Amino acid sequence: MSINGVNHIAIAVSNLNDALKLYTETFGLKLKSIMEIKEQGVKVAILEAGSTLIELLEPLGEQTPVGKFIKERGEGIHHIAFTVNDIKSFTTMMREKGLKLINNEPQHGAEGFIIFIHPSSTRKVLIEIVEPYKEKNQ
């Protein structure tokens, strides 16, 4: 069980529209999609940067995880996500190695099934593991 590559880099932003102007107009990244994920408390813009995606995360409220992140740390890199083929097996392996997980089970994310590894297990970096959806709209 191994990581296949970087899936995306997530950046917490206070204003999604302002951030989109920077990343699309200034840097020339292509907007792939915008969606609201109420379970995660975010509005997400997904941008294509070659083979890696950039996710811009705007909190749906101050008490959401991203809202708290911005309040405590300001805007900036929120997490790095890695792609795996089998998130359930990878989750089992992480637990066996003693890593602390934020979620008990994988959840639905913007582009696939996701689970987060607590920063206390990864030298203060929030890491997301993603198993991409096999088909759209799962």
**pLDDT tens digit string along 23-65?**
999 999 999 999 999 999 999 999 999 999 999 999 999 999 9
Indicate the number of domains in the chain: 1
Phi first, then psi: what are they for 20, rounded to 5°?
Answer: -60, -40
> Would you give the distance in Å from CA 19 to the centre of its chain?
16
pLDDT at residue 136, rounded to an integer: 53
| Res. 117 pLDDT band, cuts 50 70 90 | very high
Please indicate, yes or no, if residue 137 is contained in any of the structural domains: no
pLDDT at residue 38, rounded to an integer: 94
Q: How far is the C-alpha of 79 from the C-alpha of 71, rounded, in Å? A: 16
Confidence check: pLDDT of 137 > 60: no
| CATH code assigned at 95 | 3.10.180.10
User: 55 lies in which domain range?
Assistant: 5-132
The pTM of this model reads 0.92
Please indicate, yes or no, if residue 16 is contained in any of the structural domains: yes
> Average pLDDT for residues 13-20, to the nearest whole number?
98
Please indicate, yes or no, if residue 138 is contained in any of the structural domains: no
